[in-house]
Amino acid sequence: MRKIKVFNQISLDGYFADASSDMRWAHRQDAEWTAFASDNSSGGGELLFGRKTYDQMAGFWPTPMAMELAPIVAKQMNAKRKVVFSRTLSDEGLWNNTRLMKGDLVESAKTLKAEAGEPLVLMGSGSVVAQLMEADLIDELQLVIVPIVLGAGRTLFEGVKRRPELKLERSRSFSNGNVVLWYARA
């Protein structure tokens, strides 16, 4: 059985997107962070996205700008296998190595978990994270705390009623102020 891992950046006050759904605040670049991001993106796994995050990623990573700003990450993002959960997208014009899942989100995630293979890595996609957390399908969280206070926005776990117990596996701080926390099920 495959694991579902979440990678997301959140503000100090717990938002993954600001009140206008902007996430540019999360990109604090310096040499140390860029090296971590490049190394972290080389890890195994198939990427999972909701439609909104998929649109953002597919609109950026295949571009010359992405290759200029983050060539290692761009190459890895474009090469990885990807899944997008969407009832509105069509199979035409999908980002390379992407498969589309149009069915019920929770049932589709269960099907993916039951397959043999590398972990599934869910990036962004706050509503997907919340639904899969509520369904008890998330195995690990990798949260990047970005030292900014947004004051309003979308929390990563909107609508989650259950209270999953998690244990901190490790943490790492960076010179740009980011702190990465790795959690697993308790």
154-166 pLDDT, tens digit per residue, is 888 988 998 889 9
CB burial of residue 165 (10 Å; 0-12, 13-18, 19+): exposed
pLDDT tens digits for range 126-170: 889 999 999 999 999 999 999 999 999 988 898 899 888 999 999
Whole-number percent of the chain with pLDDT over 90: 61
What's the one-letter identity of residue 147?
P
Per-residue model confidence (pLDDT) at position 42 = 64
Domain with 73, as residue range(s), is 4-185
Residue 27 clears pLDDT 80, i.e. is over it = no
User: Which whole number is the average pLDDT over 31-37?
Assistant: 81
Instruction: Could you list the beta-strand ranges (E) of 20-139.
Output: 46-50, 82-85, 98-101, 120-123
24 pLDDT exceeds 80?
A: no
The number of distinct structural domains making up the chain is 1
AA letter at 45: G
Within 10 angstroms of residue 74's Cβ, the number of other Cβ atoms is 21
Is 39 a residue whose pLDDT tops 90? no
Q: What is the dihedral of CA 62, 63, 66, 69, to 10 degrees?
A: 150
- Give me the CATH number covering residue 73: 3.40.430.10
Best CA proximity match to 60, nearest among 138, 128, 124, 153: 124
* pLDDT at residue 102 in the model: 92
In the numeric block, which tokens belong to residue 28?
Answer: 């604090």
Chain Cα centroid distance, residue 74: 15
How does residue 70 score in pLDDT terms, banded at 50, 70 and 90? confident
pLDDT band at 184 (very low <50, low <70, confident <90, very high): very high
